């Protein structure tokens, strides 16, 4: 059978958006924060980089008395566990880090679960309650700024 004349072949169009969804990213960060706080004792950024504020005792240069000094950097002996410690960077002990994380997960599993479920429920309710405002932002504000193809709320 011959092809019909007059009908141009339709190109398939991508239905799902490639835009970065800010709301989903915020929810993902909060879920990750709950997990890293409960298991590693730190936030996701500090967990990935290993950079955190730590204190050490040093002698005062003039009087010679002991003093507490705070500094920002890699401190493997801190109370939290970071990814570089798990890989054994510097003088870190990876087995101690794994044991610390296992003990923290065992002790904090219920608060982690409750916070995770609470965040999920909160975002579902918030998305429904604010759907009109989100729609206004997505259809009126973002196209006017030229960000509609990159960002979605």
d(CA 97, CA 113): 22
d(CA 33, CA 40): 10
Mean pLDDT of 108-113: 96
26-40, 76-90, 103-117: lowest mean pLDDT where?
A: 76-90
Q: Cα(first)–Cα(last) distance of the chain, in Å?
A: 48
Mean pLDDT of 115-124: 97
pTM of the model: 0.73
Q: What is the pLDDT of residue 118?
A: 98
Segments making up each domain of the chain, as ranges:
20-50+80-152
pLDDT, the chain, mean: 85
45-70 per-position pLDDT tens digit: 888 888 776 666 667 677 777 766 66
Cα dihedral 44, 104, 93, 53, rounded to 10, equals 50
């Amino acid at each position: 059978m011959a092809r019909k004349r007059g009908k141009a072949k339709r190109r398939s169009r991508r239905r799902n958006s490639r835009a970065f969804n800010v709301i989903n990213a915020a929810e993902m960060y909060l879920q990750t924060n709950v997990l890293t706080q409960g298991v590693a004792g730190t936030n996701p950024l500090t967990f990935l980089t290993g950079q955190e504020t730590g204190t050490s005792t040093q002698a005062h240069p003039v009087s010679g008395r002991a003093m507490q000094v705070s500094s920002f950097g890699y401190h493997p002996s801190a109370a939290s566990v970071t990814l570089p410690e798990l890989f054994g960077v510097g003088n870190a002990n990876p087995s101690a880090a794994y044991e610390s994380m296992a003990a923290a997960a065992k002790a904090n599993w219920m608060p982690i679960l409750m916070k995770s479920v609470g965040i999920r429920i909160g975002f579902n309710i918030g998305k429904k309650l604010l759907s009109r405002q989100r729609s206004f932002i997505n259809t009126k504000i973002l196209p006017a700024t030229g960000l509609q193809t990159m960002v979605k709320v």
